[in-house]
Amino acid sequence: MADFEPVLTANIHKPDSHTLAVYQAGGGYQAIRKVLKTMSPNDTVELVKSSNLRGRGGAGFPCGLKWSFLPKDHPGPVYMCVNADESEPATFNNRILMELDPHQVLEGIMIGCFATRAQTAYIYVRYEYPTAYRRLQQAIDECYAAGLLGKDLHGSGFNLDIYLHRGAAAYICGEETGLIESLEGKRAWPRIKPPFPAIEGAFRKPTVVNNIETLANVPHIVNRGPDWFKTMGVPSTGPRDPGSYGPKLYCISGHVNTPRCVELPLGVTCRELIEVHGGGVWKGRKGKAAIPGGLSMGLLTEKEFDTPLDFAGPGKVGCLGLGTAAVTVMDETVSMVDYLYNACRFFAHESCGQCTPCREGTSWSERLLSRIRQGKGRLKDLEILQSISTSIGIMPGTTICGLADGAAWPLKNALAKFRPELEEYIRRTNPTGYQQEEPALALVELTH
């Protein structure tokens, strides 16, 4: 992909890339002007729809289609919630966009708001991003001062306010309805859907929730058109497949020589990311496994590194999906027990606790993995873990949100792809199968 010209990161290497002056000098805020002067909200929705832009926040839902679900002729207000909670382990692309090109993000929000007739946007920024928060606030202030935000934008009669809303270190606030509850000042318990936010979201009004990177694509689609957008990525294979078009910010971290965020057309293979963009596996070692798109997505084995990282690729090798396209590489020395313990501990810590299968399943997984890791595991524990992994999540229909699916997939994939290693670890560290503390009986009931 030597000839790929960056789109979303075209500005970030310029000095003072975060300022209005630099953004405008590079053609910034032309797209919102064009939209306001020459297009209707409906035209804007249709334009984005025809680009097949899919959400970059993890679920890959077509962006224009989501916008079209808002009720027509609703008296309002309508809200835009921008998801900048970015907390999926190994993911940092939204941070780079917010810190280094906040105006690009704001322009995407402006166009999204016009399209959906939202006059108020809240950007929910995770607490751990103080620089992003500061840069976005400066950018918003610059826009108000320049008349790019507020009342009657570009003489169009369209009014828009954008506010930042700061999170408080909870992963679940990234789930769209958890985010809305948190915005409303409540604990971030995801809501049962339907109703979807498009019908009843923030403050019980129609609401769009979009990821930072999704929205950053929008000004470019307006400027250069949906056909240009579709020259990048992996084409649709039929009417039911929206394809994987456009540029994507891939994050590469873990055991590579040069961890970084790199922009490429959707569909690059995991191996190319590691070898070419991540500088290869560190210390001259071999790769053993990789997380394809944030911790929730499961695991690729080394043999599966040729999987293309588009929306369809990871699913074909048993992973949950593309997720956030954040790759974490593990070298040949990594124990899958350590990986699983780390994953299970994360989800147990972050489960919001309202669904019993998720609350209990994640915390039992953590405890079992901790015990296995300490050399007190039994082969039977792998059956229990297997059973937890197939009984929690939206997929089996036992939980309200997708956190539980994300907790299940690392277990599922590790058990399917690295079972002999897990068994060998248990046999080696606990040859007699003796365990001082028995797991509580409740566990057996939970997992049937």
Ligand X SMILES: Cc1cc2nc3c(=O)[nH]c(=O)nc-3n(C[C@H](O)[C@H](O)[C@H](O)COP(=O)(O)O)c2cc1C
- Looking at residues 282 to 301 of the shown chain, list those that interact with another protein (rule: CB under 8 A): 291, 295
* AA identity, residue 148: L
Distance from C-alpha of 193 to C-alpha of 431, rounded to nearest angstrom:
47
93 binds ligand X (CB under 6 A): no
CA distances from 445 to 290, 301, 356, 388 (A): 33, 33, 12, 11
Binding mask 170-189 for another protein (x = CB under 8 A): xx----------xxxxxxx-
Residue range at the interface with another protein (CB under 8 A); choices 57-65, 67-75, 121-129, 144-152: 121-129
| Residue 337 interacting entry, from ligand X, ligand SF4, ligand FES, none, C-beta within 5 to 8 Å by type | none
* Cβ atoms of residues 423 and 415 within 8 Å: no
Asked if 254 touches ligand FES (CB under 6 A), the answer is no
Decide if 50 contacts 31 (C-beta within 8 A).
no
Interaction of residue 400 with ligand SF4, rule CB under 6 A: yes
Q: Given the structure tokens 């929205």, which residue do they identify?
A: 215
The size of the chain, in residues, is: 448
**Residue 263: CB partners within 8 Å, gap ≥ 6?**
4, 6, 7, 8, 9, 247, 248, 249, 250
Judged by CB under 6 A, the chain residues 350 through 389 that form the site for ligand SF4 are 351-355, 358-359
Nearer to another protein, 166 or 419 (CB): 166
Q: Which is nearer to ligand SF4, 171 or 339 (CB)?
A: 171
Instruction: With CA atoms as reference, report the closest residue to 297 among 322, 265, 278, 266.
Output: 322
Given a contact cutoff of 8 angstroms between Cβ atoms, the answer to whether 237 and 308 are in contact is no
For ligand X, the binding residues in 359-418 under the rule CB under 6 A are 401-403, 406
Contact 90, 327 (CB under 8 A): yes
Name the nearest CA neighbour of 407 among 394, 420, 426: 394
CB of 129 to ligand X, least distance (A): 11
**Strand pairing partners for 150?**
160
Interface with ligand SF4, residue 348, by CB under 6 A = no
Task: Indicate whether 83 belongs to the interface with ligand X (CB under 6 A).
Answer: yes
- Nearest Cα neighbor of 260 from 251, 247, 269, 268 is 251
Residues that bind ligand FES (CB under 6 A): 89-90
Residues that bind ligand X (CB under 6 A): 55-59, 61, 83, 85-88, 172, 174-176, 209-211, 214, 401-403, 406
Residues that bind another protein (CB under 8 A): 77, 86-92, 94-95, 126-131, 161, 163, 165-171, 182-188, 203, 251, 253-255, 259-261, 291, 295, 326, 328, 330, 334, 338-339, 342-343, 346, 349-350, 352
Residues that bind ligand SF4 (CB under 6 A): 172, 190, 351-355, 358-359, 399-401, 403-404
